[in-house]
Structure 1
Amino acid sequence: MSGLNCDKCGRKLHLDYGDKKIKLKDDKKIGFAKTPLLVCSGCNSRYIPYGTKEIIDQICTIIQEDTSKEKSGNIEVIVKENCEIENLEVSEWYDFDKIKARFFNEKFMAEKVKFLYDKDDYYFIPGLIRPWRTGFLTPVFFNIEVLLKYIHHPDYGLDIGADTFGYIYKGDEHFITFGINENNRVIMWLGDISNLAVEEQFYLRSENISSDHSIGSEFYEAEIEVTWANASAEKTLLKKRLEFNEKVRSHFALSIAQLDTETLRVTKNIHKILINTNSAFKDLMIPLNELLVESINNKDIRKKIKEKYPDLKEEIKDKKGIKLLQLWLEKNTDNIDISMEIAPLFVLYDLRLVSAHLYSDESREDLLNSCCLRLGLQKEERNYIIIANTLIEKLTTMYIKFNQSLRLKEMEDIKENER
């Protein structure tokens, strides 16, 4: 086990509770009920957290040393409890839930606003215990909707730099860091929250929920394991698009996209879709369409085609946008079926229309069915998060293939001959 990754399947571990049996030196077997364990969400493999092992080791030492009535006082920390599990091999069962309070009884940091959280997360999830400000790295959980304020409020900014790790800004200043777990719940540290203004804490408290004991994420890896998170799927897409635009600009002396301050503004609005609603879907589709489709530089592409392919003068007269870009790509790429590979841009355009409700309900459903099928999904798929994530993946693959297929060598040879 490395951090919160399962050794067997690589999936994330979460804190759970179960039975743990221990064999003592005299071959006597004892059992601990309600024991904190790390359990894999994929293969259900179980691991023993350090805090759990430390308590069990100390209890076992006490039991083994308690060989006389005179020493019986040493075992008072153990509270025996009948266990529903019948197992003749285990002579005694102990309630770990009652035992742990004797070992972990430190007073947590002071709170101005009382949040829901579980101290077990702090004590038994690896890497969170600190000798100063006890409880600072206690994970506090929220509904995903808690982020809506920071997405839409003009005084705040939200940057999901990786799929499960993000930053909230107030103006230009860093405000707080957060994660998103496997259950699509937002995680923040109790210590970070306590440093916020009280009115901000009350807002967070309104979306605060009980712990699900799952903090495996790029947020945990970056904050605790100091492992830099991979870029989010959306940022990877923007990077591949930029690579494509720069290659075309450098090798073909052509600006595929119109670049201006408005484009930069739109880019900031492209982030991971967090909520399965049409409104959230629209908030991604509109800026994504503005950046990838509406920003296509029709004027310069048309001019370049006219210069190099005068016989296409009439053909390009009525072409614009995606179709104009498609024609240019067909003339300047090799070993690629452009009509097939550029399809995600057409899907994006249609999904923008779908999300904005620019059709009747029946027509909208027909178009959405078509979009889902073209993305390789079931036509009945209506989970907007799945649709958006699939579209992002297809668009990223599209730009990767464009980058690989551009006739760069041919253009280099032309430039060399012109020197």
Structure 2
Amino acid sequence: MSGLDCKKCDGKLRLIHDDKVMTLKKKKKVGIANTPLLMCSRCEIKYIPYMTKDIITGFMKILGEDELEKNVDKSVEIVEKDEYEDDYQQDEVSVWYDFNKIKMEVCNDKYIAEKVKFIYDKDDYYFIPGLTRPWKIGFLTPVFFNIEVLLKYLHHPSFGLDIGADTFGYIYKGDEHYISFGINENNKVLMWLGDIIELDINEQFYLRSENIPSDHSIGSEFYEAQIEVKWAEASAEKKLLKERLEFNEKVRNNFSISIVQLDTETLRVAKNICKLLINTNEAFKDLMIPLNELFVEAINNKEIIKYLKQKYPEVKEEIKGKKGIKLLQYWLEKNTDKIDINTEIAPLFVLYDLRLVSAHLYPDESREEMLSSCCTRLDLSETERNYITISNRLIEKLFEMYKKFNESLCIHNNIGEDETIDEKGHVCNSSN
């Protein structure tokens, strides 16, 4: 079979080793221990990889057992149950073989050379679809690491980390691409052995310090992009930044106001906004601070007040003392329709509170109360304390907020007689 998506439920497949029994043409039952199979982590249905099937078929021919009871076309993707039996009596099996001994005749290629010896499992290379190559044998062997391995590249001044998709990212050294990586469903980092051994030796030793045994799960956008050549979908954080940018652009182009402060510092802060990797308050704080800087502190109070005073002179006293989220809320109430701004802008207030909570600016009891309130406003249980869950929901709510802002801007009320709105929502002169 090809790919790592379950055909039944779209879950991700991982490599397992299981005891399997085959019924031969003469109704004889033969067992093979430690058989490499692919199992869906969601519905637990099992599939047989082509390499496993080819090795077993070849072994049966050597034994003189030419065919299984069901003659299945090898070009067809085979669900393991269709060919092998799950329910059998132990005494029904006439003989058992060990797949680990059988495969030694096939999986014995000379691997690419390593200066630093990493922990990995060659079965991943041979039996996970799409990884074997007739050149540079072993290059696409997945090597696994603790998620903490990325912290160095997140904070070190010589490196950069870009998690452009939820489970696919890049490490940069300076401005140059250094290595690609994936994040599997168990929150483990994976890289290709061939990429790792091309790094400088000191970096290899650092990676080795976080190297862990394979969990045989590589289903991710990393695998899809590099093996199946599928374009990875942008991460939730990237989608949020794009939606925010679209909102800022619409406001600037159609209302002639910069609703946020734009400078080089803002761009620097945006680079620090990426998927939360570790469930600790420190990591949570490192995300909440730049989010708050970009979405709250960057609100352009001066420009908004100037716009409101010019457009609505009668509100001069009403806006006195307003700033930040409250000021943005007032501007939105004047320039959007068919939307309850008081409700929709709530995620920004939650973000502001989470920034205070993560920085420990409250006594413990007050902090717990505030955190419970934030979780409730994010439609989570008030007892939720998994920072990754909280941050993911906050990103989702902020994205939905900006999407509604973009859909509700009163652009049609802000154009002159000689102006029209183009297909991108920009005001333009109709006489041109």
Given the two structures, how large is their TM-score scaled by the length of structure 2? Answer: 0.90
d(CA) in 1 for partners of 2:55 and 2:100? 11
Q: Is the Cα contact below 8 Å between 2:36 and 2:127 reproduced in 1?
A: yes
Aligned with residue 181 of structure 2, among 144, 158, 178: 178
d(CA) in 2 for partners of 1:287 and 1:2? 41
Q: Secondary structure at the match of 2:38?
A: strand
Aligned with residue 277 of structure 2, among 266, 274, 277: 274
d(CA) in 2 for partners of 1:139 and 1:107? 17
Structure 1 match to 2:366: 363
d(CA) in 2 for partners of 1:25 and 1:62? 15
Structure 1 segment 35-46 matched on structure 2, within 5 A? 35-46=35-46
**Structure 1 position 311, deviation (Å):** 1.6
Q: Secondary structure at the match of 1:279?
A: helix
Q: Secondary structure at the match of 2:303?
A: helix
Q: Which has the higher helix share?
A: 1
Cα displacement string for residues 156-178 of structure 1 (whole angstroms, at most 9, x for unaligned residues):
10000100000001111111110
Instruction: Report which stretch shifted further, 333-342 or 53-62.
Output: 53-62
| Structure 1, gaps ≥5 residues long | 67-84
Cα displacement string for residues 99-149 of structure 1 (whole angstroms, at most 9, x for unaligned residues):
111211112111101110000000000000011111110000000000111
Give yes or no for the alignment of 1:264 onto 2:267: yes
Q: Secondary structure at the match of 2:63?
A: helix
Q: Is the Cα contact below 8 Å between 2:121 and 2:214 reproduced in 1?
A: yes
Aligned with residue 410 of structure 1, among 396, 413, 432: 413
d(CA) in 2 for partners of 1:99 and 1:166? 37
Aligned with residue 238 of structure 2, among 235, 239, 249: 235
Structure 1 match to 2:163: 160
d(CA) in 2 for partners of 1:236 and 1:349? 20
| Structure 2, gaps ≥5 residues long | 67-87, 421-428
Q: Secondary structure at the match of 1:64?
A: coil
**Structure 1 position 413, deviation (Å):** 5.3
Q: Is the Cα contact below 8 Å between 1:24 and 1:60 reproduced in 2?
A: no
Give yes or no for the alignment of 1:135 onto 2:138: yes
**Structure 1 position 21, deviation (Å):** 2.8
d(CA) in 2 for partners of 1:299 and 1:11? 50
d(CA) in 2 for partners of 1:2 and 1:356? 47
Residue type of the alignment partner of 1:169:
Y
Cα displacement string for residues 255-277 of structure 1 (whole angstroms, at most 9, x for unaligned residues):
11110000000011111110001
Structure 1 segment 179-328 matched on structure 2, within 5 A? 179-328=182-331
Residue type of the alignment partner of 2:340:
D
**Structure 1 position 88, deviation (Å):** 4.4
Q: Is the Cα contact below 8 Å between 1:24 and 1:64 reproduced in 2?
A: no
Residue correspondences, number: 402
Identity %: 71
Residue type of the alignment partner of 2:134:
P
Q: Is the Cα contact below 8 Å between 2:2 and 2:129 reproduced in 1?
A: no
Cα displacement string for residues 382-412 of structure 1 (whole angstroms, at most 9, x for unaligned residues):
1111110010000000001111111122224
Q: Secondary structure at the match of 2:367?
A: helix
Moved over 4 A (4+): none
Q: Is the Cα contact below 8 Å between 1:107 and 1:134 reproduced in 2?
A: yes
